[in-house]
């Protein structure tokens, strides 16, 4: 891909001060986009990332502080960003905390938090950027679902990530032709394998044994595929979800 393929575009990536979100931000910057990152409790990480982004694109990238766990505050965060950058061409709805606590043990507060941060924030941010994208007759919304969307033992996380795929398809219908809306569904990511072990010590070993390609995708691989939706070669593609899991979803047990 050309390093300037997204020159002149402005991208917003939610939950992007670290981990996969920061990789999306860097991938967009490498292609020439100006990047808006968001954070809630990680100002130091956000400031460090801004320095990295400047090294990649030489632009005035910005960080916006805010809470995405409530629909109204998520919309306010995007409007705050728009006040500074005027328009947003690319939205990556990356935020989506993980939990596998059984439904019968979830409090109503927990249910609402994980639903809002995974689905509600994507809805609110997409709604907020749509007018800007429509005014320029071009926009790309990329939702980050997960392999958990295809299984039924990850509780509210499975429910939310499955709903995000439906939201992707519905928004694709509503927002076309100017805006395309697509999603990715990463399986276990290599750099986050240790974190997953804290939830399920046997998950990584079992998942690798069930994965045809025999390894987990890296954050860079996931980012490159997602950002591909912004390239001209994907102009005809909308409403799809690409699994990025080395074939894990095809497991026989």
- Just list the catalytic residues: 157
User: HEC states along the chain?
Assistant: CCCCCCCCCEEEECCCCCHHHHHHHHHHHHCCCEEEEEECCCHHHHHHHHHHHHHHHCCCCEEEECCCCCHHHHHHHHHHHHHHHCCCCEEEECCCCCCCCCHHHCCHHHHHHHHHHHHHHHHHHHHHHHHHHHHHCCEEEEEECCHHHHCCCCHHHHHHHHHHHHHHHHHHHHHCCCEEEEEEEECCCHHHHHHHHCCCCCHHHHHHHCCCCCCCCCHHHHHHHHHHHHCHHHCCCCCCEEEECCCHHHCCC
Tokens at 175, concatenated: 């927002």
The rounded distance, in Å, linking the Cα atoms of 21 and 245 is 18
The rounded distance, in Å, linking the Cα atoms of 253 and 237 is 32
């Amino acid at each position: 891909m050309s390093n300037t393929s997204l020159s002149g575009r402005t991208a917003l990536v939610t939950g992007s001060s670290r981990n996969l979100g920061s990789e999306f931000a860097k991938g967009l910057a490498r292609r020439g986009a100006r990047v808006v990152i968001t954070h809630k409790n990680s100002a130091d990480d956000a400031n460090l990332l801004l320095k990295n982004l400047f090294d990649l694109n030489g632009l005035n990238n910005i960080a916006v502080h805010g809470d995405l766990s409530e629909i109204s505050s998520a919309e306010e965060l995007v409007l705050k960003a728009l006040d500074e950058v005027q328009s947003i061409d690319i939205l990556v709805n990356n935020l989506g905390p993980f939990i596998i606590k059984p439904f019968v043990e979830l409090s109503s507060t927990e249910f609402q938090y994980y639903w809002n941060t995974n689905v509600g924030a994507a809805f609110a941010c997409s709604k907020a950027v749509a007018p800007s994208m429509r005014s320029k007759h071009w926009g790309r919304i990329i939702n980050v679902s997960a392999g958990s969307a295809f299984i039924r033992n990850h509780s509210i996380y499975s429910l939310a990530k499955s709903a995000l795929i439906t939201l992707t398809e519905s928004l694709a219908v509503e927002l076309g032709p100017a805006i395309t809306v697509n999603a990715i569904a990463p399986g276990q990511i290599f750099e986050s394998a240790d974190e997953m072990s804290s939830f399920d010590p046997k998950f990584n070993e079992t998942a690798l044994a069930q994965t045809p390609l025999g390894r987990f995708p890296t954050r860079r691989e996931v980012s490159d595929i997602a950002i591909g939706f912004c390239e001209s070669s994907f102009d005809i593609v909308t409403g799809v979800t690409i699994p990025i899991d080395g074939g894990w979803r095809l497991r026989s047990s």
